A and B are shown apart, each in its own frame.
Chain A
């Protein structure tokens, strides 16, 4: 499927990608990794200048964090406001039609946007973009298929075709190595040295997570997810483990159950690993949020305020990972942008390294990385994950990678599990 009007721009770092997006659209996204001073400076700069900016062209925007571009409370509101640009009377069937066209079930229409999964939010952005087509000159999108499972890539293709037919521009900002439709993905390089393995067991006794409906201060619909294994209740695994599954199947919820953020309403989940009672640690998809509003160094100092020994260990782990990646980028100068100056800690990659180091220093039983490649070029993502897995392996910490991009990690994992829906409320974990 070739789309003529699509301009693809590739960047080596998240910061370059965001700068391009800002340059193209005028949307200033405040920097989180620099700490609160820089954040408020960016916010103020935007607030004082956005009114004076004159846009020659109108475009739909898909941001690196796609939920940020949705300004209405529910999916149905987003689409009805988009459709209202071309028609005063909105037919609800048109809204449901749009949702269905992009693979979203009808019940998602009245769900608040914040309760949708990352992939669903992206698809909603696509539906919105199609609805707004009569009134815009084009679309500017950052990593528009990154959050999607491969079987849903064609939805972007459909959208791009529509824009192409109307001679509207399609401007896509991707990170180097990021998969895109119609492109042949390179086979990943084999690892130079074998990855250290850590044997561990995951035991499930029918854990179920029940979310009651919450309406204030923020709406969450009621839902229930029960996890089970296909056969034995205990799965023997060898770290690193790759966990895959379709959009919205419940991978992130499972990660939160494993790390203790969410306690199962029934049943149990337990881990037996060399580090025993270390507990599990998790790095979310959007890792920057875990800085909790602090700068990267500020976060490290705060977390280890009462444990200087672990602070030192975390610092050593950080330096080890940082040095390894810097060595790697010596032969790839373009990738050096992702790491930034050694004296300053301010990039997304440095934030991820810092969060990983801090967690490894606490010697957890399992370290879970949810979409570790988000915001990184493929080469840097692979190098980061390889280095983290090696470091973790040496510390006898098991690693679980949750990702849609199995191809990126396949050569470095020892075990693989897949989550799939078995009925409305049941999710089965299978070792493959």
Chain B
């Protein structure tokens, strides 16, 4: 067992849910962070933007502390890695979009747009770890068991839920597997492995774009096919269990 406190086992699920919800209130309602920002502004020492960054930066540290205490340092670092990568990618894309399509700025000043991108950045680095902690704090198995124990048609609901979770799990695995297959086939990931004829012509960049479009198309269909491939077998299995449990009743 992990030496850090495991939220999942520490308290009743409703208390966990309530505490996590309260802790996540700033994201939904802006309270109490909005109040702190206003108070900081009133001191005249902070501009609204700096006050926002200070307060939300502090809130971010609180969220990370909770994740650290409940999930441990390794998981916190993993979540932060993912969060910062996503946040940087999104912010940089947003900045690029501002450059290419000024109209989407809707007349806002460059500083205002920059601040919005900073807000997006902070949003992601705070709420990605929080979201993952939220998801991991509750046991899907316990939910299914509880529903199944209700009896009657709720037992069937439990089977539906179990099947849905299994398919979710399977779909995640599909994406991992496809990524491995893609990496084996295309070690450079965004370029074809066999590309002797690629740089030869002047229109090669167009060919690359066509290849990228084709890759997206291939990925979409591969995800669908691999996701749906085991569904007949899984459904048959659940149906068999359902029939057996019905005959038992």
A touches B (Cβ under 8 A): yes
How far apart are the CA atoms of A61 and B233 in the complex, in Å? 9
Interface range for B: 35 or more
Does B49 have its Cβ within 8 Å of any Cβ on chain A?
no
Q: Is the CB of B211 within 8 A of A306?
A: yes
Q: Is the CB of A65 within 8 A of B230?
A: yes
Binds A, one of B54-62, B97-105, B193-201: B193-201
Residue interface bits A18-33, CB-to-B below 8 A is 1, else 0: 0000000111111010
Does A9 have its Cβ within 8 Å of any Cβ on chain B?
no
A309 proximity list for chain B (CB < 8 A): 196
* Chain A CB within 10 Å, residue with most, of B198, B214, B232: B232
How far apart are the CA atoms of A214 and B214 in the complex, in Å? 30
A68 proximity list for chain B (CB < 8 A): 229-230, 233-234
Question: In the complex, what residue of chain B is closest to A214 when comparing beta carbons?
Answer: B78
Q: Contacts A50-B232, A215-B135, A309-B196 given: A71-B211 contact, CB under 8 Å? A: no
Instruction: Tell me which residues from 302 to 319 in chain A have a Cβ below 8 Å from any Cβ of chain B.
Output: 302-310
Instruction: Tell me which residues from 203 to 225 in chain B have a Cβ below 8 Å from any Cβ of chain A.
Output: 207, 211, 214, 218, 221-222, 224-225
Binds A, one of B26-34, B87-95, B179-187: B179-187
Instruction: Tell me which residues from 161 to 192 in chain B have a Cβ below 8 Å from any Cβ of chain A.
Output: 162-163, 165-166, 168-173, 175-178, 180-185, 187, 192
Closest Cβ of chain A to B156, distance in Å, is 13
B195 proximity list for chain A (CB < 8 A): 306-307
Does A379 have its Cβ within 8 Å of any Cβ on chain B?
no
Q: Is the CB of B218 within 8 A of A294?
A: yes
Q: Is the CB of A282 within 8 A of B184?
A: yes
Taking a contact as CB atoms closer than 8 A, the residue among B176, B237, B244 that contacts A218 in the complex is B176
Q: Contacts A46-B232, A68-B230, A73-B165 given: A310-B196 contact, CB under 8 Å? A: yes
Closest Cβ of chain A to B124, distance in Å, is 15
Question: In the complex, what residue of chain B is closest to A60 when comparing beta carbons?
Answer: B240
Does B21 have its Cβ within 8 Å of any Cβ on chain A?
no
Q: Is the CB of A306 within 8 A of B222?
A: no
B4 proximity list for chain A (CB < 8 A): none
Q: Is the CB of B196 within 8 A of A219?
A: no
A-B residue pair count with CB separations less than 8 angstroms: 174
Does A77 have its Cβ within 8 Å of any Cβ on chain B?
yes
Q: Is the CB of B78 within 8 A of A292?
A: no
Q: Is the CB of A61 within 8 A of B232?
A: no
Q: Is the CB of A303 within 8 A of B185?
A: yes
Chain B contact residues: helix, strand, loop or mixed: helix
Closest Cβ of chain B to A312, distance in Å, is 12
Taking a contact as CB atoms closer than 8 A, the residue among B181, B214, B243, B245 that contacts A284 in the complex is B181
Q: Is the CB of B141 within 8 A of A73?
A: yes
Instruction: Tell me which residues from 193 to 247 in chain A have a Cβ below 8 Å from any Cβ of chain B.
Output: 212-220, 222
Q: Is the CB of B244 within 8 A of A73?
A: no
Q: Is the CB of A27 within 8 A of B233?
A: yes
Closest Cβ of chain A to B242, distance in Å, is 10
Does A389 have its Cβ within 8 Å of any Cβ on chain B?
no
Taking a contact as CB atoms closer than 8 A, the residue among B182, B211, B236, B240 that contacts A305 in the complex is B211
Q: Is the CB of A39 within 8 A of B225?
A: yes
Question: In the complex, what residue of chain B is closest to A298 when comparing beta carbons?
Answer: B218
Taking a contact as CB atoms closer than 8 A, the residue among B194, B221, B236 that contacts A306 in the complex is B194
Question: Closest 7 CB pairs between A and B?
Answer: A218-B172, A217-B172, A293-B222, A307-B194, A68-B230, A68-B233, A71-B237
Residue positions of B touching A, CB distance < 8 A: 74-75, 78, 132, 135-136, 140-141, 144, 162-163, 165-166, 168-173, 175-178, 180-185, 187, 192-198, 207, 211, 214, 218, 221-222, 224-226, 228-241, 243-245, 247-248
Knowing that A216-B132, A305-B192, A306-B198 are A-B contacts, what are 4 other residue pairs whose CB atoms are under 8 Å apart, sorted by A's residue number?
Answer: A26-B236, A71-B237, A218-B171, A306-B207
